[in-house]
Copies of this chain bind each other. A is one copy, B any other.
Amino acid sequence: MSDNTIQISSNEMEETLLNLFLKYNFSNEKAQLLASTYTESTLYGVFSHGINRVPLFIEYIENGSVKVDKEAEKVASFGSIERWDGHQGPGIINATKCTDRAIELAKEHGMGLVALRNNNHWMRGGSYARQAADAGCISILFTNTQPNMPPWGGKDSRTGNNPFVVSIPRKAGHVILDMAISQFAFGKINDYKLRGKKLPFPGGWDENDELSNDPERITLKERGLPIGYWKGSALSIILDMLATLLSAGDSTFRISQRPFETAVSQVFLCIYPGIFGDQDLQERLINEIIDYTHNVEPMHPEDRTYFPGERSSQTRVKYEKEGIPVSSKVWDKVMELVS
């Protein structure tokens, strides 16, 4: 990383954030959960939804979008499915609670689903995927967002990048897919812009409605490209529909009508594969797939293949050892907020 970063240990980050959240009137337990989740997301290399996002989270508390004292509660249930209302509480706390509940339901019924409305941004979906996997559960999780991609053929952004997250528990390291439906996050596009580089592939539409890999031109209007063009556009729309109708919550359309991105809709689906009593076989089958897709000749000598979640786990090991390279500007801002 550049010389604009400083190395912060995960302990120092977590302690600093704990003090910050206590200052903003969270209970000790909630402040601890927020601090550890933001730190862990940063450890896994997801700065945009880790430490870099903390100042915006505080801003959202101050503008009233995030309600410090609110918490998700159940509003309806039937068998393995429940509908919850997040009451615009902190996204991480509500999402953690709903994941816990989906895990409980899965252990009771084989599967469990919690649909959550009126939540705030859950930050890194992989947090809850890992939480489920640690409890021995498969998880399929998704959220809607504010609009940031045009539906295929349309001019304006009217569909969200709606992250889609899947985890599979595994003794030798969980398999975790944490994927927004946009080809590149706008955070990533801005990184390329700052470094004066082009994207490796088209990532959005320029001011002349042409697909572009030029971050300068894509960021003039925020119109991201869905993965697979028309396919990701359709996938994004259908995830918004599922989250909205299952939670009876707000769709990307309704979210777009507010000044801040709040009251989003999310789905937490857990499956407990332990019910079959053949975890050893399952582990062997998963490892076979990993071996087959790993032990492949690289397309170009510098290439390597990874299984979903492998690289972020490597990043974590590195950062635990060497400290986390945090932007000085971000760290200064956090220190200013905490003081």
The reply on A281 being an interface residue by CB < 8 A is: yes
Those of A136-173 within 8 Å (CB) of chain B: 138, 140, 150-156, 158-159, 166, 168
The answer to whether B79 and A109 have CB atoms under 8 Å apart is: yes
Q: In the assembled complex, which residues on chain B have CB atoms less than 8 Å from the CB atom of A111?
A: 79-81, 109, 111, 113
Q: In the assembled complex, which residues on chain B have CB atoms less than 8 Å from the CB atom of A297?
A: 154-156
The reply on A260 being an interface residue by CB < 8 A is: no
The answer to whether A231 and B179 have CB atoms under 8 Å apart is: yes
Q: How distant is the Cα of A108 from the Cα of B78 in the complex, in angstroms? A: 9
The reply on A275 being an interface residue by CB < 8 A is: yes
Q: How distant is the Cα of A292 from the Cα of B166 in the complex, in angstroms? A: 28
The reply on A119 being an interface residue by CB < 8 A is: no
The reply on A317 being an interface residue by CB < 8 A is: no
Residues of A within 8 A of B (CB): 76, 78-81, 83, 108-111, 113, 138, 140, 150-156, 158-159, 166, 168, 175, 177, 179, 183, 201, 205, 209, 227-229, 231-232, 234-235, 237-238, 240-242, 244-246, 248, 251-254, 256, 271, 273, 275-276, 278, 281-282, 285-286, 288-289, 291-293, 296-300, 303-308
